[in-house]
Structure 1
Amino acid sequence: MNIKKSIVVRVRLAFLLVCLFACAIVYKVIAIQYLDGEKWKSISKERRIFYKPVHATRGNIFSDNGSILATSLPFYRVAFDPTVAKAEVFNNGVDSLAMLLAQFYGDRSEDYYRRKIKNARHAGRRYIRLNSRQINYQDKKLMAKWPVFRDGKNKGGVIFEKVEKRFKPFGLLADRTIGFINEDKNGAGLEFSFNGDLTGADGEALFERIAGGSKPIYDGTEVKPQHGYDIKTTLDINLQDVAENALYKALERTNAEYGCVILMEVKTGEIKAIANLGKTTGGYIEDYNYAVGNQGRTEPGSTFKLASMMALFEHAPEVKLTDTIDTGDGRYRIKNTVMTDAKINGYGKLTVQQVFEKSSNVGVAKLMEAHFSNDQQAYIDYLNKFGLNSTLGFQMEGEARPYMKDPRDKNWYGTTLTSMSIGYELKLSPLQTLAFYNAVANNGVKIQPIIVKEIRKADEVLHSYSTRVLDDQICSEATLKKLRMMLEGVVANGTAKNVLSADYKIAGKTGTARKVKNGRYVKEYSTSFAGYFPADNPKYSCIVIIDSPRGVNVYGGDVAAPVFKELADKAYARDLAMHKPMHERVVPNRESIPQVEAGSFDDLRTICNTIGVSTRNGNLDDEWVKVVPLRRSLGFEATPVMKNTVPDVQGMTLRDALYILGNQHLKVKVSGAGKRVKEQSLEPGTEINEEKTITITLS
């Protein structure tokens, strides 16, 4: 009996506790709903309603003539508030709307979209994203006419969420120069360098959190974004296209690792074209700004000889272009190393002009030793004065810092002076080398290259960039005159004869520098050509770099110079201001071809170029040639002069004949009168094994 009574008591206590707990729950509900209702409503509203940034439209990037290089295009995501439309509008249009959505997106069935929209309306959901795919403005206009959607956002419930995408109308043209900016605000090129101007200022608007996302609330408190400013560059789209195509062909032909081209206006410093192409598995793309950045900073090689010669002429103005240097057999021992020239067995005795034209390493090294060996710091001081040890302050981020040794450095060796003089043991970017060459073309005025001319807000110019002079006189007038003659001689008579033009003069210098791998120089080269045109009145300066070309001819004159020539030809053809008046040009014909038969190759070619007569086979290495008259031009055939052999002097002037025969240790008798040799008594090719006399007959 006691056990039964105990069980009943326990049940009653449990029931009482459950009742008390239920009453507590009811009380709490009433308290939350009525006593503390305003408090919780306020908290709920604060968490549901929030301000969200509204991104500004990014500014445009223009070329020099106003063509758009980069712009922001509006795209949209389509969302929907199915609770907004009236029942009649919704019921009459939902089937057609589902059908159109299925046809447009093509990823889901009509039934899928119908169920998705109806279920959301039934559940009272005020926001659903119909599809994650973005649509363009034309598609937006089309969708705005569809059933239900045609009633707009407030009555139809359609929500077009704007998303902007960066678009480049010219595709990959100047891709790396235009650059990019990512979500972390990192990037490259103009997009990154001028991000502060292009970005603008974001606004903000009130949004409500709802199931599936957030919905904007336009209550008049929104802050409109301030759109980004536009930037106008100096780039010429047509020249940019030519530069990239010419570079691409050269890289493919030589299977090189990378290359770059910069074309700049001499007087203004405006960059008209800048191309950068690197090798990938699928070909060549603009993967890095080699023209400006650290990866393009290399030992320049022979293009740096211009700086060495400038230092020489400034230090020793008495040095003349006609002074001679014996380069011997092309091998020159300096301390424990041997410097060599490109030509086997060397060039022998050369003038200072020829040392530069033929790019003789031995000749330049001997000149530097003769004038700077006792004061090597003076050489470095000249380079510093020329601004070669400092950056240019270029407008784009990432400009490489030059590397230049100093005699006080621990790594300054006994061979450093001569190595630096020919472009080794120092590093420059292509843009820095070009700025130096541009100063020579610009009468000694060194200016800062620019690539952005203006910051604009619509048609209003907010800020303009003009030429900034870095050095108003980089060297003396006398030095400039010598340098210009040497640079023109490289194209007329030296290592860049293959880019000689009959229409305009080119001045420049080739470069072929060995590359370093694992601390040692290997047989891979960085080839280059830097110069300007037209040489007599420079309009453009240009540099071409092609790194690690493969093949038989891997010198700057064979690889880089033709790219320069192709770009220069196109620039010259489209700029009528550079053209000479037609009456000043000599049009060659049979009657105008000079009566020449044989002589010095350099002299004959110079004469023909001066009077406008076209020549063929103009790239011979032999000093003496015979002339072969062609239909409307002259051709050249080599006439080798071999030791201990009677040379062929027929057709040559008396002066040339006496010079050659005298060097062969022949006694010469002259008969007849006239300007040229008609006959010679000894047959060409006869061996000279004793002192002989040769009679030449003039006519």
Structure 2
Amino acid sequence: MAGPLSRGRRYTILLLLLSGFAVVLFRLVSLQVLQAAELTLKADRQHQKTVSVEGARGTIVDRHGKVLAMNMEVPSVFGVPTALESPARTARNLSPVLRVSTGELERKLRQDRGFVWLARKLDPEQGRRLERMAMDGIGMVMEGRRFYPKGPLLAHVLGFSGMDGEGLEGLERRYESHLHGEKRVTVLQRDALGRTVFPKGLSEQGPAPGHSLVLTIDEVIQYITEKELDEAVTRAHAKSGTMIVLDPQTGALLALAISPRFDPNSVAAIGPDRWRNRALTDAYEPGSTMKAIVAAAAIEEKVMKPGTLVFGENGRMTIANTVIHDHEKLGWVTFAQVIQKSSNIGAAKTGMALGDQRLYRYLQAFGFGQKTEIDLPGEAGGLVKHPREWGRRSVASISMGQEIGVTPIQMVSAVAAIANDGVLMKPYVVSEIRDTHGRVLKQMLPQVKRRVIAPDTARTVTTILEGVVTDGTGGKAAIPGFRVAGKTGTAQKIDPRTGTYSATQFVGSFVGFVPAEAPRLAMIVVIDEPQGDAWGGTVAAPVFRRVGEQALNYLGVSPNEPVKLALAADRP
């Protein structure tokens, strides 16, 4: 029989017990105090999945508050591969609802992950079908999807945003910093085994929506413009068409149309060539519309007057070993008739009377060769070479609208300066930025760029341009009851294969303003590669008339009773 433990053994056992308690106590302190923060974070990682979802994007409305772009809350679907019993069966069930192939869904659901996106920003009906299915390991969260309620209307100006809500084209891109909302952090809860994720108990942190844009665009005028331009391009079997309508006194765009159009709600199947804003990006040789600018420079510099006689050389003149032709054999005509009859020879002589330096100075003053700085992305500066790069025929060619590249927005802005008593305005399309409560955060006011010609010169040129419509090449732009000022243009395109002017490819255009005595609308129509009769007076001028007639009636401008806009820029 064992005797009682010796005192030494008892102390040894006691020491061992105390040491064990000390180890356990140290471990507890370490876990609960020293490593508390790290272990808490680890536990959160095991039981939570954080997903970043963008906040609501700001709306875009026209000048009267009609919604052109908005956000819709739509479902996005995720899966939990680690919680699925049969990824193959789940994929087969989801495929017809998500409209994603079974193979692609199964590949995602077989990943060794606790979370995977299966489809983003679905239609509401798809979400309702998924809710009825109630599948384990499959959940939904709501995200904002950009929606354009008017479809193709104003698409080239609005642009579109991507799947992650970032603006990719147009105003969506240019004003991305204002439109986008702050990112929302959505926390998805897992169970203790990490096998399931449920959308229950979601938390959102700081879902701040983006700001809204108020445009200068008028939805009604935009609709009229797109309708008439589309019909003109179809009739002419043209490659494309562009039309801009703006207020010449302020530079505010009322409409900007490109044909063919596209639907920003469905851009996946179309490429950049379709959504490119040709009014800003595509430079073209303006042809005879440039004669309006040359006329303004010549009258301002007093090298020509409306009654100055110019000899038309009977339709044929040699310059620098090349021949310039007119479509009509003219003898002695007045300078006003040179513009009205669109004489190339008369324009060439006018340019030579100005000289290269003065001609170049006025091209710059009217804004050619430089961006207008309109608040839209992708604008090109056009092409205006310095006189030191000009050839012996360049002055004559530029005066006829050759050897120079302009964009539609440049040309209409330049002619609008004539309509605006010689003052060039900066074109713009956004008038206000507002917060979610409708408060105005920023207001864009008309901006004067510079005075280009004197008021008297502008009025003289206006009278000459009225003659283009009443007695010259622009007769089909006439609007009954209104005085119309404008200029036709027909330019041959360069054949990229030969590097010479094409005999079959043309750009027909018309640019002008109405009412001539107190302009409300400045407009340009550009038809690219019309088939058959390609004259600007035939394919473009009628579009100007149809849009102008309807827009003036909509604005309540009575014939012979033009009304000045209240919002007019101060003039220097």
Normalized against structure 1, the TM-score is what?
0.64
Displacement of 1:287: 3.0
Displacement of 1:197: 0.8
2:485 corresponds to: 507
Match of 2:410 among 429, 432, 435: 432
Match of 1:275 among 251, 257, 263: 257
Match of 1:334 among 314, 319, 322: 319
Q: For the Cα contact (< 8 Å) 2:368–2:381, is it kept in 1? A: no
Decide whether aligned partners of structure 1 residues 334 and 574 sit closer, same or farther in structure 2, where only a CA change above 3 A counts.
same
Q: What one-letter code is carried by the residue in structure 1 that aligns with 2:43?
A: K
SS of match in other structure, 1:563 = helix
Task: Give the 5 Å matches for 1:271-310.
Answer: 271-278=253-260, 287-293=275-281, 296-310=282-296
1:563 corresponds to: 543
In 2, the alpha carbon distance for the partners of 1:214 and 1:64 equals 46
Displacement of 1:445: 1.6
Which digits, 9 at most, give the CA deviation of each residue in 1:6-39, with x for residues without a partner?
Answer: xxxxxxxxxxxxxxxxxxxxxxxxx9xx999998
Task: Give the 5 Å matches for 1:534-613.
Answer: 534-551=515-532, 553-580=533-560
In 2, the alpha carbon distance for the partners of 1:522 and 1:147 equals 63
Displacement of 1:405: 1.6
Decide whether aligned partners of structure 1 residues 338 and 249 sit closer, same or farther in structure 2, where only a CA change above 3 A counts.
same
Match of 1:395 among 348, 370, 375: 375
In 2, the alpha carbon distance for the partners of 1:476 and 1:539 equals 20
Task: Give the 5 Å matches for 1:57-206.
Answer: 57-77=56-76, 160-182=140-162, 185=166, 187-206=168-187
SS of match in other structure, 2:209 = coil
Q: What one-letter code is carried by the residue in structure 2 that aligns with 1:532?
A: F
1:364 maps to 2:347:
yes
Displacement of 1:520: 1.0
| Structure 2: runs of 5 or more not aligned | 1-23, 81-89, 100-112, 263-268, 563-572
Decide whether aligned partners of structure 1 residues 55 and 213 sit closer, same or farther in structure 2, where only a CA change above 3 A counts.
farther
In 2, the alpha carbon distance for the partners of 1:477 and 1:106 equals 64
Which digits, 9 at most, give the CA deviation of each residue in 1:167-200, with x for residues without a partner?
Answer: 1111111112111233585721111111111112
Which digits, 9 at most, give the CA deviation of each residue in 1:270-318, with x for residues without a partner?
Answer: 1111111149999xx953211111xx2111111111111112112225x
Decide whether aligned partners of structure 1 residues 232 and 76 sit closer, same or farther in structure 2, where only a CA change above 3 A counts.
same
In 2, the alpha carbon distance for the partners of 1:258 and 1:148 equals 50
Q: For the Cα contact (< 8 Å) 2:466–2:486, is it kept in 1? A: yes
1:679 corresponds to: none
Q: What one-letter code is carried by the residue in structure 2 that aligns with 1:246?
A: E
1:520 maps to 2:520:
no
Decide whether aligned partners of structure 1 residues 135 and 554 sit closer, same or farther in structure 2, where only a CA change above 3 A counts.
closer
Task: Give the 5 Å matches for 1:448-527.
Answer: 448-458=426-436, 459-471=438-450, 473-518=451-496, 519-523=499-503, 524-527=505-508
Match of 1:229 among 198, 202, 211: 211
Q: For the Cα contact (< 8 Å) 2:350–2:399, is it kept in 1? A: no
Normalized against structure 2, the TM-score is what?
0.78
Which digits, 9 at most, give the CA deviation of each residue in 1:490-528, with x for residues without a partner?
Answer: 000000112223321111000011111232111221111
* Cα root mean square deviation, aligned: 4.0
Larger-gyration structure (1/2): 1
Q: For the Cα contact (< 8 Å) 1:368–1:421, is it kept in 2? A: yes
1:110 corresponds to: none
Decide whether aligned partners of structure 1 residues 215 and 421 sit closer, same or farther in structure 2, where only a CA change above 3 A counts.
same
Which digits, 9 at most, give the CA deviation of each residue in 1:438-470, with x for residues without a partner?
Answer: 111111121111111111113111111110110
Q: For the Cα contact (< 8 Å) 2:57–2:180, is it kept in 1? A: yes
Between 1 and 2, higher relative CO (CA 8 Å, sep ≥ 6) is seen in: 2
In 1, the alpha carbon distance for the partners of 2:403 and 2:98 equals 63
SS of match in other structure, 2:145 = strand
Q: For the Cα contact (< 8 Å) 1:327–1:363, is it kept in 2? A: yes
2:223 corresponds to: 241
Q: For the Cα contact (< 8 Å) 2:97–2:130, is it kept in 1? A: no
Q: Percent identity?
A: 29
Decide whether aligned partners of structure 1 residues 315 and 41 sit closer, same or farther in structure 2, where only a CA change above 3 A counts.
closer
Decide whether aligned partners of structure 1 residues 270 and 256 sit closer, same or farther in structure 2, where only a CA change above 3 A counts.
same
Q: For the Cα contact (< 8 Å) 2:139–2:197, is it kept in 1? A: no
Q: What one-letter code is carried by the residue in structure 1 that aligns with 2:466?
A: E
SS of match in other structure, 2:509 = strand
Decide whether aligned partners of structure 1 residues 365 and 79 sit closer, same or farther in structure 2, where only a CA change above 3 A counts.
closer
Q: For the Cα contact (< 8 Å) 1:277–1:288, is it kept in 2? A: no
In 2, the alpha carbon distance for the partners of 1:248 and 1:540 equals 20
SS of match in other structure, 1:165 = strand
Displacement of 1:537: 1.4
Which digits, 9 at most, give the CA deviation of each residue in 1:479-498, with x for residues without a partner?
Answer: 21220111100000000112
| Structure 1: runs of 5 or more not aligned | 1-30, 82-97, 108-125, 150-155, 583-699
In 2, the alpha carbon distance for the partners of 1:559 and 1:389 equals 27
Q: For the Cα contact (< 8 Å) 1:70–1:168, is it kept in 2? A: yes
In 2, the alpha carbon distance for the partners of 1:157 and 1:402 equals 57
Decide whether aligned partners of structure 1 residues 336 and 214 sit closer, same or farther in structure 2, where only a CA change above 3 A counts.
farther
In 2, the alpha carbon distance for the partners of 1:106 and 1:163 equals 16
Q: What one-letter code is carried by the residue in structure 2 that aligns with 1:177?
A: V
2:512 corresponds to: 531
2:43 corresponds to: 45
In 2, the alpha carbon distance for the partners of 1:309 and 1:494 equals 15
Decide whether aligned partners of structure 1 residues 460 and 267 sit closer, same or farther in structure 2, where only a CA change above 3 A counts.
same
